[in-house]
Every structure is written in C-alpha cells, then in structure tokens.
Structure 1
Amino acid sequence: MNEGIARVPVPKEIVMGEVIARLAMSLDGYIAGPESGREHPLGIGGERLHSWVFGLRTFRRMQGMEGGLTGPDDDLIAEHVRRPGAVVMGHGMYVTGEVPWGDEPPFHAPVYVVTHHARPSVPKKGGTTFHFVTEGPERALELARQAAGEKDVSLAGGADLVQQFIRAGLLDELLLHVVPVLACGGRRLFDNLGDQHIEWEKTQVLDSPEVTHIRLRARRTVS
C-alpha cells in the first residue's frame, strides 16, 4: 500500500440540464394569432390554441386556483413545469399587459429576458425574478444554465427566440401541442430558419380529444 502517495480527487463531471420548449400550435403552424402584441398577447383568436389547458389541475394551481382535471394531459404539463430551473424569454413576450406577468408570475424561477433595453432586475412574488440580458440569446442561455444547475432551461417564447435557438442548434427538445384549428395568419413557428435541413426524432405522441401532443428531439442540422 503506497501510503506516501497523495490521492488527487477526480473532479466530478459537470452535469447540465437540457434546453426545452413547449408551444401550442395550430394545424397550419401558427403559435399566435394575427396582431399579437401588448393588446393581444396571443394574437386575435390565439386563446383557442390554449383553451385545452385552462381546466387542468396543474394550470389552475399555477394561477392560485383549486380543483381541475387530471389525466394524461395534466401529467404532461406537470412534468414540464417540474423540469426547468430557469427560463429564457424574448422581450416581446415579457411586455404583455400593463404590468408584465402580474405580481406573482407562474415561473417560480429566474427568468432571463433577451432584450435591447438594459434595466435593473425585477423581483416578483413566488421566486420569480426577471433579469434583462442585452448581450443576446446565447448569453441569456449561459446565465440561465448557471442558475438552473442540473435542471433544464425552458424557452418560454416567443417564436423569434425559439427560431434563433433552433438555427443555432441550441434546442434539445420541442414539445408541441397541436390543436385542430386553422389560424390562417399570425406568428408561425417554423419560419425564418434559413436553408438548413433539420431532422427531428419523434419520441412521444399523446392524443386527446382537444389536442395532440408531439415530443421531438433535434437530431442533426445539415446546411
């Protein structure tokens, strides 16, 4: 036994979570209706893309309400709520309503807002603090990863931000809730991706009367 030899500890491998996004989408590929903005955060008629979630137990709990439906749809939402340790969103999604996200937003985690407008962080009730990042989406992701530790980082949207992450190969998982309606206008998810050929692996399909959930993983990007 070599008692005189000092044992050098082997550094543990740094484990990071994944970058995930969850979006409701119409059959014709829109995630918001026409004229989306401060007055119409989901676009005109965009609420229809999310009506299936309003009665679920997990959604109601996030809004401070009791009761709600359980089952596979609710299980899927509950899983996505548990996974993130931090959130990244675009400035357009932050500035919804007169008081962005109210007094107690549903994130309960640090949120990094990609913006051109520097400003102090905004703490809210329930563990959410909005931080404003002017150095671009990759810097926002870096800060979010540091905050999340081993947990995932969630992209809250909007479409422009998700597109930037897809183009840069930074999105690991995309969970789509496909609602059987035609929006016929608005914000389309898969625009502005350039000439890349992006392949996805379908890892889960869950069908219910109001919505079909499709979980995808990016496999490779070919220019």
Structure 2
Amino acid sequence: MPVTADLAITLDGYVAGPNVSRDNPGGDGAERIFDWIHTLASWRERQGMTGGDENRDSELVREWFDATGAVVMGRTMYDLGEEFWGDNPPFRTPVFVLTHRPRPTLVKEGGTTFHFVTEGIHSALERARAAAGDRNVDIGGGADTVRQYLAAGLVDELQLHVVPVLLGGGLRLFEGLGDAGRRDLEQVGAVETPLATHLKYRFVG
C-alpha cells in the first residue's frame, strides 16, 4: 500500500505559521490554515466529539483516516502535540516518532500507540509498513519530516488541501529540497469546495 503525505497548505505554500512553539504549535496565523477542518464531522469524531458539518470536505478527511494504518511523525510534532492530544489522541493507529532521544513505547486510549524510533527514516517506515498491513502509511509531519521523506523518494502519494489564504511567512512544505525535489507527478484527484481545493498527486518515475 502507498506511503502518503496529507497536509493542509496555504496558497503560498505554508503548512505552519511563524513562531511555532509548544504554546503555539501551528505558529502565528495557524487558525487560517486549519479552521476549516475543525468544523468537520469526521474530524470531530476523531477528537471524541459529536456534531460537525457533513460535506465533501468531511468525506475526504474520513477517507484519509480510514485508509491510514500507521503514521510516521517527527519528534518536534510529537512534543508540540502531546499536551494538545491528551490521553486519547486522534490517530487510532500505531505512530512511529523519529527521535534521537530513546523513550519506551507509550500506549494511549483509542488504539494509538507511540513508538520512538532512533534508527532513522528508513527504519521508521519499515516498522510502519509492517504495522499498517494492507492500509497506507501516512507521513504526518511536521514539514521537516515530510521533506526528508520527499527528498529520499519514499512518498508515493501527496494530497494537499489548499486553503484560500496567503500567509506570507512560516514553514514552507517544499523549502530546500533542491535537486532531490525534482520529480514528476501525475494528478489523480481534484475536488473543489468553498473551504479548500483538495489535490491528490502520485509520484511517477
């Protein structure tokens, strides 16, 4: 099954605002990138909440959740999100955290288990593939982790939820890829809604 990266992104290419910190995990202006997803029924279900909007955006997010059998993320994303996620994180799958600081496996409610991997991106992906079975492995972030997997040619599919916002600063998804970023893609999906334009690509060659 494919390795995916599924991210909300501004029209000018940012996946987080400036001044990212534990108290400000999405950076300044992050609400302009992510507010659209927080109202969706499928997102709210994953947070243990009820209600929300049932629309095409919600369907696409639910499809992403249902297709994902394991997640890889960086230690910074884990550290920034740990307090926000609490005891019942929304992943509901094994999560493999890239880190230089070993830590015992952490089992949470709802089916999320955090495994801390010190052997690099290939080891984390190999373990995630084994855990995911016949479902996708999603490279969950942050931006630097996604760039590492893109640069290594390890991402098969890229889905971008392009929000109609110009942020003007922050963390760019494709910053600094250089020659490693010169790859061809084919578009395999495009859905336009008032909230975002959902674009899905497959890497070729």
Alignment pair present for 1:80 and 2:60: no
Match among 173, 177, 180 for residue 164 of structure 2? 180
Distance 1:19 1:114, change over 3 A: same
Q: Tell me how large the CA RMSD over aligned residues is.
A: 1.2
- Residue 60 of structure 1: how far off its partner (Å): 1.0
Alignment pair present for 1:219 and 2:201: no
Greater gyration radius: 1
Runs of 5+ unmatched residues, structure 2: none
Alignment pair present for 1:89 and 2:73: yes
- Residue 46 of structure 1: how far off its partner (Å): 1.0
The one-character-per-residue Cα deviations of 1:148-196 (angstroms, maximum 9, x if unpaired) are 1111111110111111111111101111011111111111000121223
- Residue 215 of structure 1: how far off its partner (Å): 0.5
Runs of 5+ unmatched residues, structure 1: 1-16
- Counterpart of 2:188, as a letter, is T
Q: Which residue of 1 aligns with 2:91?
A: 107
CA distance in 1 between counterparts of 2:56 and 2:75 reads 32
CA distance in 1 between counterparts of 2:54 and 2:147 reads 32
4+ aligned runs moved over 2 Å, structure 1: 97-101
Match among 187, 191, 194 for residue 209 of structure 1? 194
Q: Which is helix-richer, 1 or 2?
A: 2
Residues 21-32 of structure 1 aligned to structure 2 (within 5 Å): 21-32=5-16
CA distance in 2 between counterparts of 1:20 and 1:169 reads 12
CA distance in 2 between counterparts of 1:78 and 1:100 reads 21
- Counterpart of 1:165, as a letter, is Y
CA distance in 1 between counterparts of 2:170 and 2:76 reads 14
Match among 105, 110, 119 for residue 126 of structure 1? 110
Q: Which residue of 2 aligns with 1:166?
A: 150
Match among 198, 201, 219 for residue 183 of structure 2? 198
Aligned residues: 204
- Taking structure 2 as the reference length, what is the TM-score of the superposition? 0.96
CA distance in 2 between counterparts of 1:97 and 1:178 reads 22
Distance 1:107 1:35, change over 3 A: same
CA distance in 2 between counterparts of 1:108 and 1:100 reads 16
Paired-residue identity, %: 51
Maintained 8 Å contact 1:200/1:216: yes
Maintained 8 Å contact 1:94/1:101: no
Maintained 8 Å contact 1:37/1:92: no
Q: Which residue of 1 aligns with 2:24?
A: 40
Q: Which residue of 1 aligns with 2:46?
A: 62
- Taking structure 1 as the reference length, what is the TM-score of the superposition? 0.88
SS in 2 for 1:73: helix
- Residue 97 of structure 1: how far off its partner (Å): 5.2
SS in 2 for 1:41: coil
The one-character-per-residue Cα deviations of 1:59-112 (angstroms, maximum 9, x if unpaired) are 111111112211211111110000111110001100015636210000111100
